[in-house]
Structure 1
Amino acid sequence: MQIMRVSKEYQAYLLFPLAMFYWGLVYWRNLFYKYGFFVSRRLPCHVISVGNITVGGTGKTPTVIFLAQYLQNKGKRVAVLSRGYGRSTKGTLLVSDGNGPKVAWKESGDEPFLISKKLNNVPVVVDEDRFRGAMFLVQQFNPDVILLDDGFQHRAIERDLDLVLVNSGDSVFDHKLMPYGILREPWLNIKRGSALILTKTNLKKPPPF
C-alpha cells in the first residue's frame, strides 16, 4: 500500500481554510453569548471551571483534584462534572458517588475515572450536556461547589471562577487555530477567564542564551 506524504507547505494550504472556518464558528458563538442570543444558565451552587485554550495536556486533571481537596479541607461539599471525552457511553453517567469509581474507565473516559479514584467523598458525573449533568449533581448530592473539568469553551453554565491553564513551556502566541494548529480558540480569548494559571513550570526549558 502506497502512503501519500503531504509536505508542511501543502498541509498549510489544506488546513488553513478549515482553521478560518473554525475561527468563524468560534467568533460567532462567543458573540452570541456576549449579546445574549445564547444564554448561560445559573446553578443553585458555586461553579468553578478549569479549562485551557489549547489541545493537549496542560494539567487540568491534577488541578481539579487539588481544588477539590482544598475545598474539602475548607469544609465544602464538592462535586466534579466532566464531559467524558472518549467514553463508550452517552447521557448522564455517575462515575463515582464519592466512594471510588462505579464504572470502567472506558465507560467514563480516562480523566473522570482517574479523578474518581483520587478523590474521596466527591461525586463525579460525566455528561455531554453539562447543564443536565450539573442538575443531576445538584439534585442527588446538593454540593456547595461544582468543578467543571475542561469547562472554558463550554459556556452553557455560568461560573463564579473561570480558570484558564497554560503550559508554561508552550508558546501560545505562536500557535494557530485547529485544525491548522492546536488552539481551541484565539489566544486573546484568554481575557474571558478570571485567572490564568501557568502549569508545568518545573519542566520549562531555559532560554538558549
Structure 2
Amino acid sequence: MDLQRAWLQRGVLAGLLWPLSLLYGALAAVRSALYGLGILATESVGVPVIVVGNVIAGGSGKTPVVMAVVRHLQARGLKVGVVSRGYGRATDDCREVHEDSDPREVGDEPALIRRSTGTPVFVARRRIEAARALLARHPGTQCIVSDDGLQHLALARDVEICVFDDRGTGNGWLLPAGPLRERWPRRCDLVLHTGMRPAFAGFSARRSLAEQALRLDGTPVPLASLAERPLVAVAAIAKPEAFFQMLRERGLQPQQCIGLPDHHDFTDWQPPPDTGYTLLCTEKDALKLWRRAPDALALPLLFEPEPAFFRALDAKLSSLDGHQAA
C-alpha cells in the first residue's frame, strides 16, 4: 500500500509503524525542550520573521503562500527577503538566488520565488545562516519570510503560518505511522487552507490557472488559444493530478498527462516523440524543463488567500515592538 494513502487512516500499515512514531515523538519532544531551556540556541536576526510551513509531510502548497505573502508585503511598501533550504538542490552551501540561477543549484521553489516576486532569496541548509547572509547582502531588508522551517527552531520567528491541504492532519499520528512532523494542534498564529475542503477552522484561499501561459522569453499565450491544439501535460509536483484537473476545468484536454516525482530535475527526461503537440507544465517545472524543451509553455498558478487572512497578518506584524505598520 502507498504510504501516503496509509497515512489517511489508522489501518494495518500505520498500526505496524505506530511504535516508531512514539520514538519519533519522544526525540522531537527532547529537541524542543533543549531549545526551550536554552541549551540549544534560538537566534533573532533583528527584523520580523514570518515562517510559512506545515506540520504535515509532503507538499501542501507552501510556496504559493510564500509568494502571496511576499507580494502583499511588497504592496505595503516593505522590503522583503526570503530564506529557504532549497530542497533537492545539488549544492550544499549558503548562496543567493539570482534571476538566472540554475534551479538544480538553488532549488526549484527558491528559483520560482525569486523569478516571480523579484525579492532577494537566500538558500542554506540552516535557515538562520541564510537569514544572516541575506541581511548582510541586503541590510535594508525590513521583513524575512521563511519558506518552510516551522521545525527549524534555531531561527527565531515572530509569526507562524501553518499551511494545510485537503488531507488535514491525515490519521493524526506522527511520522512514520502518520503524516505529522509534530503534534497537532500546536500554537501558531495563522492557519491557511490551500485546498477546496478545509478539514477544520482557518483561513481559505482560491487557486486557479492564469488566463495566459508563458513562453521561455516571457511572451504570453492566451489559454483560450490552446483549446483546439493537441496537448501533452507534464507535472513534477507533490500532486500532479491537481494540475491536470485544473487544465481540464479550463477546457484544455491533454492527450497525455505525465506525472513525475516532486522536484524532478528533468536532466534525463525525454519528452514524447514530436507529433505536433504543445507541451504544458507548471511554472515551477518550467524553470528546469525549458533546458530540455524550450518550446514548453508554463502555466502560472493564481493563488489568492481571502482578504481576512492578510488583515490578520497585518495585525500580527503591527503588534510587534519596533515594527511600524505601512
Return the TM-score normalized by structure 2. Answer: 0.55
Pick the aligned partner of 2:150 from 144, 149, 152. Answer: 152
Unaligned residue ranges in structure 1 (runs of 5+):
1-6
Unaligned residue ranges in structure 2 (runs of 5+):
1-5, 200-326
Pick the aligned partner of 1:197 from 192, 195, 209. Answer: 192
The aligned residue for residue 84 of structure 2 is: 82
Pick the aligned partner of 1:64 from 44, 66, 75. Answer: 66
Post-superposition Cα deviations, 1:120-156, rounded to whole Å, max 9, x if no partner, equal 2x11111002111111100101211110110211111
Question: Do the aligned residues in 2 keep the contact of 1:91 with 1:129 (CA within 8 Å)?
Answer: no
Code of the aligned partner of 2:36 = K
For residue 112 of structure 1, give the secondary structure of its aligned residue in structure 2.
helix
Instruction: Name the structure with the higher helix share.
Output: 1
Distance 2:94 2:124 in 1: 5
Question: Do the aligned residues in 1 keep the contact of 2:170 with 2:179 (CA within 8 Å)?
Answer: no
The aligned residue for residue 161 of structure 1 is: 159
**Is 1:178 aligned to residue 180 of structure 2?**
no
Distance 2:106 2:56 in 1: 22
Which moved further from structure 2: 31-40 or 129-138?
A: 31-40
**Is 1:12 aligned to residue 5 of structure 2?**
no
Taking a change above 3 Å as real, the CA distance of residues 199 and 10 of structure 1, as seen in their structure-2 partners, is closer
For residue 147 of structure 1, give the secondary structure of its aligned residue in structure 2.
strand
Deviation at 1:80, TM superposition (A): 0.5
**Is 1:117 aligned to residue 115 of structure 2?**
yes
Deviation at 1:174, TM superposition (A): 2.5
Deviation at 1:198, TM superposition (A): 2.2
The aligned residue for residue 101 of structure 2 is: 103
Distance 2:42 2:131 in 1: 13
Return the TM-score normalized by structure 1. Answer: 0.83
Distance 1:93 1:171 in 2: 34
Question: Do the aligned residues in 2 keep the contact of 1:42 with 1:158 (CA within 8 Å)?
Answer: yes
Deviation at 1:16, TM superposition (A): 2.2
Question: Do the aligned residues in 2 keep the contact of 1:82 with 1:148 (CA within 8 Å)?
Answer: yes
Code of the aligned partner of 2:52 = V
Distance 1:23 1:43 in 2: 29
Distance 2:95 2:134 in 1: 11
Deviation at 1:83, TM superposition (A): 0.6
RMSD: 2.0
**How many residue pairs were aligned?**
189
The structure with the larger Rg is 2
Q: Which has the higher contact order (CA 8 A, sep 6+)?
A: 1
For residue 174 of structure 1, give the secondary structure of its aligned residue in structure 2.
coil
Distance 1:197 1:119 in 2: 20
Identity across matched positions, percent: 33
